[in-house]
A and B are shown apart, each in its own frame.
Chain A
Amino acid sequence: MNGVHDMGGMDGFGKVEPEPNEPMFHSEWEARVLAMVRAMGAAGAFNIDTSRFYRETLPPHIYLGSSYYKKWLLGLEDLLVDKGFVAASEIAAGHAMEPAKPLKRGKFTRDDVERIMVRGKFGRAASAPAKFKPGDRVRARNIHPTTHTRLPRYVRGHVGVVERDHGCQVFPDTAATGAGENPQWLYTVVFNGAELWGPDADPSVKISIDAFEPYLEAA
């Protein structure tokens, strides 16, 4: 979706303000939110792409006004309500009011933590040969899906060069909506700064994205 999260190239946010000696978490609740999201994903309540899509669909003013883990919490709440794991009234009350719904996997104990915190693997067997190879010129398609996509707006319609083939991987666009893993070839595509940002761009800058094959056409 052309949402507020897709902010590459946007102006007006001010300078980056690095935080010296940044802690892992700024409050204890942030660690709990991380644990809840990972545990519910591992329990089979949702996949990583669906959880990302729910963060992206937060109302723009909420998205922009929320910290990293606040977005995780708000997206998780909406997702669990939509999937029927909790009721909105339970979130408002701050405690369970109905019997728990069974999960595909889980519940977990302390011994499961290390396994659950390891990210999944996304590589899959290929069902067709790769259409592109390193060195090929490709154009990012001018497409505007209304659901989750990993194709940033700022590359759409622009021409770059394939630099690397990452093999076949789970396609987030379909995984996010529950339409299946639908594995696709994944490539690193490099764009010149001027191709994306016009003649005034810094000529010493190149920008890469990782692009799934359906995002690309030969150029």
Chain B
Amino acid sequence: MKDPRGVLADFGVTLPQETDIRVWDSTAETRFLVLPMRPNGAEGWSEQQLAELVTRDSMIGTGFPRTPGAPS
């Protein structure tokens, strides 16, 4: 809560200072999923192809999806 940028760094995610950070503290029964950004090289991919790039961390906001061609 106090140092989300530092927590992201623990997960190996370093964001530029100009990138805003939003933290959702899940204090009720609502659960939030992050919609991962489409990685470069995946333009025009189908939903099924994109699903191959999605990781757990990319949907909880602590990582990026895989990039096309990278080992899974």
Contacts and interface: CB of A to CB of B under 8 A. Distances in A.
Given A9-B1, A154-B1, A202 B21 contact: yes
A8 interface: yes
A147 to B, nearest CB: 16
Interface string B5-39: 10100111000011111111111111000000000
Given A122-B29, A150-B27, A152-B27, A204 B19 contact: yes
Given A152-B27, A210-B27, A204 B18 contact: yes
Contacts, number: 78
B4 interface: yes
A15 B1 CA distance: 14
A205 B28 contact: no
B20 A206 contact: yes
A204 B28 contact: no
A109 B20 CA distance: 49
A150 B21 contact: no
A197 interface: yes
A204 B21 contact: yes
A15 B7 CA distance: 7
Contacts of B30: 166, 186, 210
| Top 7 A-B pairs, shortest CB-CB distance | A210-B28, A16-B10, A8-B1, A150-B27, A122-B29, A9-B2, A207-B23
Interface of A: 8-9, 11, 15-18, 48, 119, 122, 150-152, 154, 166, 169-170, 172, 186, 188, 196-197, 201-202, 204-212
